[in-house]
Chain A
Amino acid sequence: MTEPTRTIAAPGGPADPPPPADKPVPQFLADLQREIGSGVTALSYWVGDWTAILSIDRLVAAAQYLRDAPGARFEFLSDLTASDWPPRSKRFDVIYSLYSISLKHRVRLKVQAGDGEPVPTVTVVWPSANWLEREVFDLFGIRFAGHPDLRRILMPDDWQGHPQRKDYPLEGPGEMLMENPLDWLNLKHREEIE
C-alpha cells in the first residue's frame, strides 16, 4: 500500500479582521466585554457580521449572558461548527452562530481549542447544541466536556479518524474499505498477526 501523500497548503489561521474604527460596536457586545472582561480576547467584523473571540474557560458564562441579557436575547443557536487550521498550536476553531428571534440580530462566537483539549458543552444553554456538538465531535474529534451523549452521528460507530480534519487523507484505508473490503480485511488481519 502506498502512503497517501497530499501536501496541505494550509494558512495559519482565519483572517478575523478587526472592526474598522468608524464602525460602532453593538451595545450587546460592549456589555459582554464589560461582563466577561478579558474573556473576550478580540472582536472581528467582516461583511456585516460581528464575531467575538472568547477564551475557552469563559465560553459558557458568555453564552449564558448572551442568551439571558435583555439587550442581547440570543435564544436561538443557529449553527455550531468548527474549522481546522493545522499549523496553529490550538488548531481548532469552534464557531457558534447565534440569532435573537425577539430582537432580530446575529452574532458569532468563536473559541480556539488544541488537539485533545475539551471544549465545555453549551447544551446547558441551548439544548439544540446536542446533535451539532455530536457532529463536530464525529467529524473533527473535538471533545465536549459535559455533553450528555457524545457519540458519533454521521459516520459509522467503528470509524477510525475524523474526516473533516485537514490532514485526513483523501485516499487510504477508509477508501479501501468502501471499494474493496477484502483488501482491507487482509491488511487488518496481517496487522493483528504482527
Chain B
Amino acid sequence: MPDSIFETSELVINMGPQHPSTHGVLRVVLRLDGERVISADVVIGYLHRGIEKLCEQRDWMQIVLITDRMDYIAAASNNLGYCETVEKLMSLEVPKRARYIRTVLAELQRIASHCLWLGTHAMDIGAMTVFLYAFRERELILDLFEEYCGARLTYNAMRIGGLPLDIPPGWDAKVRAFCDILDTKVNEYEELLTHNRIWRERTRDVGIISGQDAIAIGLSGPALRGSGVPRDIRKDEPYAAYADFEFNVPIGWTGDTYDRYLVRLEEFRQSVRIIRQALDGLPEGPIIGKVPRLIKPPAGETYHAIESPKGEIGYFIVSDGKSNTPYRFRVRPPSFCNLQALPRLVKGHLVADVVALIGSIDIVLGEVDR
C-alpha cells in the first residue's frame, strides 16, 4: 500500500518582490512540500543604488545626507554612526552637550523604528489594531524630529564634530511628555499582544535559533539578544554618552519569534529610561567642537560600529589623506547580515510563518540593498 493515495510534488513559488509583507522589494524563492518550506533562497538587490560608490564621489560633509537614505526608518542612527567614524579618524573631540543630544535623538529613533516594526509585524500576523496604535506614537516622534531639524524622515541631523542645531526652547519638556505617554502605551501594546492566545500560537517556537548559531550566522541587535546573547554595543563599546547612563540589556530565552518580540518591547522601556537620564543631566555648552573648515582626515582607515535599532551598523572608511572624498566607504548593514539568517530560520515552517519571520528579524530594504 502506498504512503499516500495522492501524488505530491514539490512546488517552487516566488514570494515578492511585490508582496505587502516583505517590507519593500524582497523576493524569497520558496521550495514547498504542501504548506511546509523545504528550502528558501533570498533574492535582493532591487533597491541597489550604489551608495558606497556614490559616497566615494562626494565630500565628507555631503555623505551625512546620503546615509539618511539607507535605513530611512532610523536615519539619525545612520548619521550618528557615520559622524562618529569620521571623528574617530580625525581624533576630534565632541562636546558633552552634543553627545547627550545625539543620544536622545538616537534613542527616540530607536523607539520610532521599533514602533514601525511592531505595527507592521503585528499586521503581517493579523493583529491590525496594533498597527494603528504604534503608528500613532511614531507620529509623535516624527513631530519631535520635525521641530528639531525640520524633516520627518531624512533628518541630516548631525555634523562631523557635533550637531548643526541646538534643541529649540521647550523641546526637552515635550520629549519628557512623550516619554510619559509612551510608558502607558507600551503597557497597552503588551495587553494587546503578550498574552494574546493567537499571537502566542503564531510566534512561540517559530524560527528558533540558538545563541551559538546566531553568532555564527552573523545576527546582531535584538535578533541576537532574543537568542540569549547579552551583546549590546551601547554597553560593550560605549559611544556617544551611553557610558554615563544606567540601562539594562534585555535578552531572550529560547530564541524564537516571541522572544525577539519581548526583547524589542523591553527596549522601548529602556530607551525611555535613557532619554530621561540624558535630559536630566543635559549639560550646558557648545554643540559643535573645533572642526576644521575643510574636512580632510589624515591617511588611514578605521572601522567603527554603533547599535542601530536593527543591529550593529558599522562604517569602514579609508582616507588617502589627499583628496576630500573618502577613498573607500563601506557600510556594514545590519539588515543585510540579519537577512542572511532567513533561509535557516524558515526551514521546516509553514508559509504563513515566513511572513512572521521576515517581520521578526526587522529589515529595511533600503539598507539591505544600499
Contacts and interface: CB of A to CB of B under 8 A. Distances in A.
Interface of A: 9, 11, 14-15, 17, 46-49, 75-79, 81, 83-84, 95, 97, 99, 101, 104, 106, 108, 126-128, 130-132, 135, 139, 152-156, 163-164, 168, 170
A128 B318 contact: no
A71 B57 CA distance: 41
A130 B300 contact: no
B83 to A, nearest CB: 15
B89 to A, nearest CB: 6
7 contacts: A9-B322, A11-B299, A101-B231, A128-B340, A130-B340, A155-B48, A163-B50
B300 A97 contact: no
A156 B50 CA distance: 13
Given A76-B218, A83-B327, A155-B48, A47 B88 contact: yes
Interface residues of B, number: 41
Given A83-B327, A131-B336, A152-B45, 18 more contacts: A11-B299, A15-B321, A48-B88, A48-B302, A49-B301, A78-B312, A78-B314, A81-B330, A83-B328, A83-B330, A84-B328, A106-B303, A132-B337, A135-B336, A153-B44, A154-B48, A155-B45, A155-B48
B216 interface: yes
Contact of A156 (B45, B216, B323): B45
Interface in B299-327: 299-303, 305, 312, 314, 316, 318, 320-323, 327
Interface string B64-89: 00000000000000000000000011
A14 B318 contact: yes
B217 interface: yes
Contact of B316 (A97, A128, A154): A97
Contacts of B332: 78-79, 81, 97
A127 B216 contact: yes
Contacts of A81: 316, 330, 332
Interface of B: 44-45, 48, 50, 52-53, 57, 88-89, 91, 215-218, 229, 231, 236-237, 299-303, 305, 312, 314, 316, 318, 320-323, 327-328, 330, 332, 336-337, 340, 369-370
Contact of B218 (A126, A135, A139): A126
A75 B322 CA distance: 36
Nearest to B231: A101
A156 B217 CA distance: 25
Contacts of A14: 299-301, 318
Contacts of B312: 78
Contacts of B369: 154
Contacts of A108: 303
A128 B45 contact: no
Contacts of B88: 47-48
Contacts of B337: 128, 131-132
A152 B44 CA distance: 10
A128 B218 contact: yes
B318 A83 contact: yes
Contacts of B215: 75-76, 101
Contacts of A9: 322-323
Contact of A104 (B44, B237, B323): B237
A95 B316 contact: yes
B328 to A, nearest CB: 4
Nearest to B301: A14
A168 B336 CA distance: 24
A80 to B, nearest CB: 9
Contacts of B321: 15
B237 A78 contact: no
A79 B320 contact: no
A97 B229 CA distance: 20
A173 B267 CA distance: 48
Nearest to A168: B53
B229 to A, nearest CB: 7
A108 B300 CA distance: 13
B301 A78 contact: no
A178 B215 CA distance: 39
